[in-house]
Amino acid sequence: MTEDGGEMDNRFERNLGALTRAASKIVRPGETDGSSPSTFWISNPRNEFIGNVAAGSEGNGFWFELQTSVKSPSSSFKWAEGVNPRELELSIFRDNVAHSNWRSGFRKSIELLYSINQFFHKELFLLILFLSSTRYLPYGNVPTIAWSV
């Protein structure tokens, strides 16, 4: 997922996310992890998503949840000033698959609730990722970070 909404120009390609579960305990008020977990939670549309699969989530498969500004801690970076994810154009979104999810396969909505990355709650989900030529550069100048499970 992209967390703060400032993550841009990354490519997510041929990943599989399966059986994403809702958090049983909410860390902070307003989090949606307990009610709307999503396998691919996208907070900035300026990224490429190609050939990914989201299966069996207790919430959504892919969820574009776009805020009007970049959240902390990325918001402290100079480049994040004035970035409004809702106004950015969607990059490539092609050949993605969502199935067997409890809510929607693909969801794009403007929500005011604060959310937190359910991917960081290892104990709350089972995630199977097949990384294939995936670059994930959340802050642009940081070396490649692989998602861990």
Positions touching other proteins (CB under 8 A) are 45, 61, 86-90, 92-110
Nearer to other proteins, 94 or 122 (CB): 94
As measured in angstroms, the least distance from the Cβ of 27 to other proteins is 26
Strand 11-13 relative to strand 48-50, pairing? parallel
As measured in angstroms, the least distance from the Cβ of 111 to other proteins is 9
Nearer to other proteins, 25 or 86 (CB): 86
Nearer to other proteins, 9 or 95 (CB): 95
In angstroms, the first-to-last Cα distance of the chain is 13
As measured in angstroms, the least distance from the Cβ of 88 to other proteins is 7
As measured in angstroms, the least distance from the Cβ of 102 to other proteins is 5
Cα–Cα distance measured from residue 53 to residue 117, given in angstroms and rounded to the nearest whole number: 18
121 burial type by CB count under 10 A (0-12 exposed, 13-18 middle, 19+ buried): middle
Cα–Cα distance measured from residue 60 to residue 39, given in angstroms and rounded to the nearest whole number: 7
CB 126 within 8 A of CB 18: yes
Nearer to other proteins, 32 or 149 (CB): 32
